[in-house]
Structure 1
Amino acid sequence: MAEEHPEPTVVRDRRRIDPETGQVRTEPDAQPDQPGQDAPAGPDAGVTTGAPAAGGSAELAEAQALASDRLEQLQRLNAEYANYRKRVDRDRDVAKDAAVAGIAEALLPVLDDVHLARQHGDLTGPFAAIADKLEATLGRFGLARYGENGEPFDPMVHEALMHSHSDEYEVATCVQVLQPGYRIGEKVLRPARVAVADPQ
């Protein structure tokens, strides 16, 4: 078995100032010492300049500002759309109620005739069924008839056409309903026209 000899140690003097003459040495062309080794690093090697980092920071800040602006615009647009939807829904409900109220007001004379005919017993046969269907259909849209004898007089929902005085009542009372009132929900389409008895 042959004896292995270690490679000789090579010392390279890379000092820039010659210790013997004190002169500054000229740097030879940087060459790698061995294949696969990098050339000796120069004085500025491995130092990252500040320009690219500063540019990256500026671009990042600009992108963040743009994203924040777009988010604010999106939030504002979303709030405007939500308000628009609420307004449209409210306007739709108002338009629907107005349409129903208009149709019901146009039919009040017909409903008055039906009510009088029923009171006098003249509403019989097929006409009674038609009248019931008409009132039921309008009732599904919230139309209600009101006004009864003996209920307290309320000027907000009653219209007094006749007045009298009586010891029988402690407050103003509707003693006779001359024409019933109609309302849809809380809206009065026509007040009940009544005769009122005031206390003495």
Structure 2
Amino acid sequence: MSQPNGAGEARPEDEGGPTGPVIRDKRKVDPQTGAVRDARAAQQAGEQTDAALEDPFDAGPPAPGADDVGSDDVDDADEGADVDAVQRDGVESAEVQDEPVDSQDEVSSDARMAAERLEDLRRLQAEFVNYRRRIDRDRAKDRDVTIGETLEAMLPVLDDIHSARQHGDVSDGPFAAIVDKLESTLGRQGAVLFGAVGDTFDPAVHEALMHVPDADLPDGATETTVVQVIQPGFQVGERLVRAARVAVADPTE
């Protein structure tokens, strides 16, 4: 039979029950599932804890968190864990935010470097194209100069061939075949012979050695006209090797 204590209540040890501190789980959050408990569930959990303490052998399964040492300690531990998690998440979030910025800077730097290299490549390509054009132009000019110098050295021979043709000595025979081969070879090298009777006099390509009055001119001639070719002119490309030496006449009024 229990004896009343100083407060008028029966002590558990007088009833033959367990001795020690009475623990009631009044936490509003379930430590195992993390779900929020309502007031009714918290009260039922406290009643189950009291029943387990009164009859530990007949009581049902302990309420969640009933075997914890103290709710205050658990709450403190949970709050500390939450603070650490928040701080850790903040640090990780900052690191995650910093990484894209660094990556974006690296991409921008790489893109800028690639654009600079592409611009350098285009400039070098343009310089190479201009250099190749200049080399080709100079090569063609040097070729014309070389052929012109060779043709200029052969002018006396070509003048003799022209005189022989005017006198009818190059009409047929072996000499005529040799002359044809020589003129064909000079033509393939770019040498052009010009100057013919009836051409309009052009001081840029003609050299008038004499003026013939009352000469027969082609019908419809209104300007100074070539009436005789003394020495033909030669040109290689844009280079004038020698102007045609001619005799001219003016049309009668």
Q: Distance in 1 between matches of 2:238 and 2:108?
A: 58
- Which of residues 46, 60, 85 is equivalent to 1:42? 85
Structure 2 residue identity aligned to 1:128: A
SS of 2:177 mapped into structure 1:
helix
Matches within 5 A, 1:20-39: 25-27=76-78
Instruction: Note if contact 1:165-1:199 (Cα within 8 Å) is conserved in structure 2.
Output: no
- Which of residues 158, 163, 167 is equivalent to 1:116? 163
Structure 1 residue identity aligned to 2:134: R
Q: Distance in 2 between matches of 1:74 and 1:112?
A: 55
* Number of the residue aligned with 1:7: none
Aligned residues: 177
Q: Distance in 2 between matches of 1:185 and 1:62?
A: 54
Does the C-alpha gap of structure 1 residues 121 and 163 become closer, same or farther in structure 2, counting only changes over 3 Å?
Answer: closer
Q: Distance in 2 between matches of 1:28 and 1:164?
A: 126
* Number of the residue aligned with 1:92: 139
Higher relative contact order (CA 8 A, sep 6+): 1
**Identity fraction in percent:** 47
Q: Normalising by structure 2, what TM-score?
A: 0.59
CA deviations over 1:22-61 (Å, ceiling 9, x no partner): x97135997xxxxxxxxxx811338421333332222222
CA deviations over 1:1-37 (Å, ceiling 9, x no partner): xxxxxxxxx931779xxxx87x97135997xxxxxxx
Of Structure 1 and Structure 2, which has the larger fraction of its residues in helix?
2
* Number of the residue aligned with 1:5: none
Q: Distance in 2 between matches of 1:191 and 1:167?
A: 22
Which segments of 5 or more consecutive residues in structure 2 lack a partner in the other structure?
1-28, 37-70
Work out whether 1:60 is the aligned partner of 2:107: yes
Structure 2 residue identity aligned to 1:11: D
* Number of the residue aligned with 1:34: none
Q: Distance in 2 between matches of 1:106 and 1:63?
A: 64
Matches within 5 A, 1:189-200: 189-200=241-252
Q: Distance in 2 between matches of 1:152 and 1:69?
A: 60
Which segments of 5 or more consecutive residues in structure 1 lack a partner in the other structure?
1-9, 31-40
Does the C-alpha gap of structure 1 residues 65 and 149 become closer, same or farther in structure 2, counting only changes over 3 Å?
Answer: closer
Does the C-alpha gap of structure 1 residues 69 and 185 become closer, same or farther in structure 2, counting only changes over 3 Å?
Answer: closer
Q: Distance in 2 between matches of 1:156 and 1:139?
A: 22
* Number of the residue aligned with 2:188: 140
* Number of the residue aligned with 1:173: 225
* Number of the residue aligned with 2:152: 105
SS of 1:154 mapped into structure 2:
coil
SS of 1:48 mapped into structure 2:
helix
Q: Which has the higher Rg, Structure 1 or Structure 2?
A: 2
Of Structure 1 and Structure 2, which has the larger fraction of its residues in strand?
1
Structure 2 residue identity aligned to 1:108: L
